[in-house]
Amino acid sequence: MKLLVTGGAGFIGANFIRLALRDGAELLHEVGFNGIVNLDKLTYAGNPSNLDSLDEGAPYRFVHADIADHESVSAILRGEDIGAVVHLAAETHVDRSIDSPTTFFHTNTMGTFHLTECVLSHWRNLRGNRAESFRFLNVSTDEVYGSLGPNDAPFTESSPMAPNSPYAASKASGDCIVRAFHATYGLPAITTNCSNNYGPFQNPEKLIPATILAAMEDRPLPIYGDGCNIRDWLNVEDHCRALLLVLKNGSPGRTYNIAAGNERTNVAIVERICGILDELDPRASGRSRRDLIAFVRDRPGHDRRYALCCDRIRSELGWKPLADFDDGLKATVRWYLDKRAQFEGRQGRGYPCRWRNA
């Protein structure tokens, strides 16, 4: 049997596949998989070259398709002997969702519906141990829970959904579809909600790579509002290890939060990146890149704080994050420095929204 990964050419998807075919290969075999099929639409955020370093002859195949294409997805599930699905395909950039919500609801809501319907039909046709071991892992976000106050306890898996952006609403809608298909039809589905990921291969529009690339080129570093919005940062490899563990031992119908407890303000993240770059790649002038920081008008519906309680995945599955945040951030900065030529000239905070005034 093979594992189907949707959105495998994107940031988390590519890291997941690389980990699964490297460190996770033994785990894949433990749960009965002998290869991975990557289904990706290849929007602007999908890059098949993210997987160029896979060993030649690795048990991996790429399929260019849209999860909203019922016929294509059904053909893949049938033809590739799929024994589990890890659903990572998504539109994820909040700024873009504010300007173009239709695209987000097409992929994150209707795409998830069509995929889940196809997966249900496929699962119903399986027999014996194959039906019992089948899993549909729906990978979601902490943003579906809404925003926390400065002294609020972190969100748990029982926290109500309260999305504040079109992106978050589209993901919450998809999560509800998966939940309903489990409750109504018995589909062995599991949902995970993760905090903000960082690491290699991330699209340059996101905060950390955007800041790194802009700072390398001495361009302004715009920060929304007062810069005190808080995010909980998770190393992408720690996230991918958690997904493999949930795939193996997670209970159908359960939701698992995945985070590392690295709460930082946006301005603190930008300032730390500047400090790392000042150390690794000093400016000719000797001045710190912190002088590039520019505070700009806040975006609409900007959530103030995210934080997740991860007691469930720690106690039930024994997962814990391995990466030290500062070491991981420094390694990420080094990765982008090493790839400087590849990214040169690409816009750091790559999506100019109409409310930005910098």
Residues designated as active site: 142-143, 167
Closest CA to 221 of 330, 336, 349, 332: 349
Say how far apart CA 273 and CA 331 lie, in whole Å.
Answer: 11
DSSP state of 109: I
Residues 6+ apart with CB under 8 A from 57: none
**What is the phi/psi pair of residue 32, to 5°?**
90, 20
Rounded to 10 degrees, what is the CA torsion of 16, 238, 86, 63? -10
Which stretches of the chain are DSSP H helices? 11-21, 25-30, 70-79, 94-99, 101-104, 112-124, 128-133, 166-185, 207-216, 236-249, 266-280, 311-317, 325-338, 340-343
Residue type, 355: W
